[in-house]
Chains A and B, each alone.
Chain A
Amino acid sequence: MSTFDKIPETKEEAFLEVLLRLADDRLIHGHRLSEWCGHGPELEEDLALANVALDMIGHAASLYSYAAQLEGKPDEDYYAYFRDDIDFKNIALVELPKGDFAFTILRQFLFSAFSFFNYRELIKTVKDEQFNGMLQKHFKEIKYHLRHSREWVLRLGDGTEESHRRIQEAIDEIWMYTGEFFHLDDIDKAAISFNLYTDTSAFKKEWESLVFGTFEEATLQKPDNDQYMFEGARSGRHTEYLGPLLAQMQFLRRSHPEAEWK
């Protein structure tokens, strides 16, 4: 039985779930971005993508180490390297293959826009000082990720015929994975009742107006909002893409569990 079947009964259990959900989104997204390292379309953009990747992996590391402290695990590496795909609590959007540059930018924009509102609300809600301090630190970087990716959405959408076509295709391909931003399961609801998470549906309209406003400015078509929406990755029902990603990310650490950086 995976940890997902269990609804947190205590504040401590709910806290751990919140930390791991936030951290897993960031680690997996950060890993996908890191795949661009050395392959960016321009030297400057290669650096920019690697910077964002490092920011996100850094956010995950700080959240994991707090979780390790709460749960009595040795360190953050335990969560990154020694859990299997079913135990990862990230949404499916972040595990999708990196795709082309338009897809990468669009995913970054949608995720950073969601993170912007989510963190803004979390900072108001969360009483725990250490957790709130982390959120404030991450929030500054999220604002930059949002700015960078939004500016690129505008340029790709309103750029050449090819860039427009590619980012429009990315919108149509990715849209079914945005439902998980606003889907609240029983674990989220328990966390909300302990003031450890926010009701994400409260800012859905704001998120849509930022996203659709940007699409309009970029001369892009709004996606079909009535389509089937993917759901279930947070409960361990991941896409086929997470396994190979974890295999690549974890194999070295698992092959040499005693290895140390010198």
Chain B
Amino acid sequence: MNQNTEWPLWEVFYQPGNGKPFEHAGSVHAPDAEMALQNGRDTYARRNEGISMWVVPTDQITASAPEDAGPFFDPANDKAYRHPQFYSVPRAVKKRN
């Protein structure tokens, strides 16, 4: 298919349950936002995946470049204290769970 006649690309996100963060499901082609929602539903929500869906025009997403990976993410490697397992959970909270 000719590149110029192809519908724009949209990224599809769905929310697996109440209060859960949206997850990226994949992308679809669609002429506009309503059809992107419907195509997202038909392509990615066929097996009871979620309760809510977002679609975002792919060209509206700003992504970090592969060469940013070092400065962006490596510094976190040796900062294990940022992970929550170093904090003890009060007994009352544990009980409630």
A residues neighboring B (CB under 8 Å):
42-45, 47-48, 51, 144, 147-148, 151, 155
Contacts A47-B43, A51-B46, A155-B31 hold; do A42 and B7 have CB atoms under 8 A apart?
yes
A23–B72 Cα distance when bound, in Å, is 58
Which B-chain residue is minimally distant from A154 (CB atoms)? B34
On chain B, the residues within 8 Å of A144 by CB distance are 41
The size bracket of the interface on B is: 10 to 19
Does more than half of chain A's interface fall in helix, strand or loop, or is it mixed?
helix
On chain A, the residues within 8 Å of B7 by CB distance are 42
On chain A, the residues within 8 Å of B32 by CB distance are 155
Flag if A44 contacts B43 (CB, 8 Å): yes
Q: How far apart are A36's CB and chain B's nearest CB, in angstroms? A: 13
Check: B53 CB closer than 8 A to any chain A CB. Answer: no
On chain A, the residues within 8 Å of B39 by CB distance are 44-45, 47-48
Flag if A48 contacts B29 (CB, 8 Å): no
Flag if A51 contacts B38 (CB, 8 Å): no
Contacts A42-B29, A44-B28, A44-B29 hold; do A151 and B46 have CB atoms under 8 A apart?
no
Check: B42 CB closer than 8 A to any chain A CB. Answer: yes
20 contacts between A and B (CB under 8 A): A42-B7, A42-B29, A44-B28, A44-B29, A44-B30, A44-B39, A44-B43, A45-B39, A47-B42, A47-B43, A48-B42, A51-B42, A51-B46, A144-B41, A147-B38, A151-B34, A151-B38, A155-B31, A155-B32, A155-B35
